[in-house]
Amino acid sequence: MQNDTIKVDKKVIEIIEEMIKLSIARNRNHAFNIVIEAGIPKVMKLIKHKKKVNELIEKFLQEGLPYEKLPTTKDVEEIRNR
């Protein structure tokens, strides 16, 4: 384990204290670890999504945007007039 000092919202501290009071966690450290681990899957999804976005940006910067398959203004106007 590695130590780190952080500042958290009062609401988070209230949740941590409630977890200890209800014996969900043994102490603050344990409670924070539970909260962090519970949130890791969501964070991993966000990281995966951001990496994919960055890959697409790099691809578009190198190869250009794939304009040939995008609808033109004329196409959109024709659909609206139907």
Q: Tell me the domain boundaries of the chain.
A: 10-81
- Give the pLDDT score at 20: 93
Q: Give the whole-angstrom CA distance, residue 47 versus residue 55.
A: 12
Residue 31 and residue 16 in contact, taking contact as beta carbons nearer than 8 Å: yes
Q: What is the DSSP string of 7-68?
A: ---HHHHHHHHHHHHTTSSSSHHHHHHHHHHHHHHHHHHHHHHHHHHHHHHHHHHHH---GG
For residue 2, give the 3-state DSSP assignment: coil
* pLDDT digit string, tens, across residues 8-65: 999 999 999 999 999 999 999 999 999 999 998 887 898 999 999 999 999 999 998 8
